[in-house]
A = this chain, B = another copy of it.
Amino acid sequence: MKKTEIIDLSHTIEESMALFPGSSKPVITEISNHNTNGYLEHYISYNSHTGTHVDAPAHILEKGKPLTQYSIADFIGKGSCIDVSGLDVIDGNFIVKCKHILAQTEFALFYTGKSKSWGTEDYYKDFPVFTEYAAQLLGTFNLKGVAMDSISPDPIDSKDYIAHKTLLKYRILIIENLTALDQLTGKNFTFHAIPLKTNIADGSPIRAFAKLSL
Residues of A within 8 A of B (CB): 1, 6, 8, 10-14, 24, 27-28, 31, 34, 38-49, 51-52, 58-60, 62, 71-73, 76, 78, 161, 190, 192, 194-203, 205-207, 209
| A28 and B200 contact, Cβ closer than 8 Å, known pairs A8-B71, A48-B44, A73-B6 | yes
**Residue of A31, A58, A209 with most chain B CB atoms under a 10 A cut-off:** A209
Q: Bound state CA distance, A161 and B11, in angstroms? A: 33
Chain B nearest Cβ from A187, distance in angstroms? 15
Neighbouring B residues of A195 by C-beta, 8 Å = 207
The residues of B that contact A12 with a CB separation of less than 8 Å are 197-199
A10 → chain B closest CB, angstroms: 4
Nearest to A77 among chain B residues (CB) is B1
Q: How far is the CB of A191 from chain B (nearest CB, A)?
A: 12
A39 to B31, CA, bound (A): 32
A165 to nearest B CB, angstroms? 10
A173 to chain B, nearest CB (A): 15
B6 x A76 contact (CB < 8 A)? yes
- The answer to whether B38 and A43 have CB atoms under 8 Å apart is no
A40 touching B8, Cβ below 8 Å: no
Are A200 and B44 neighbours in the complex by a CB distance under 8 Å? Answer: yes
Q: A13-B199, A196-B196 are in contact. Are A31 and B42 (CB under 8 A)?
A: no
In the complex, the answer to whether B78 meets A1 with C-beta atoms within 8 Å is: yes
A48 and B41 contact, CB distance less than 8 A: yes
Pairs A-B, 8 closest by C-beta atoms: A45-B45, A40-B202, A10-B197, A14-B199, A42-B48, A13-B198, A34-B62, A194-B194
List residues of chain B with CB within 8 A of the CB of A52: 197
A201 & B72 in contact (Cβ 8 Å cutoff): no
| Chain B residue at minimum C-beta to C-beta distance from A195 | B207
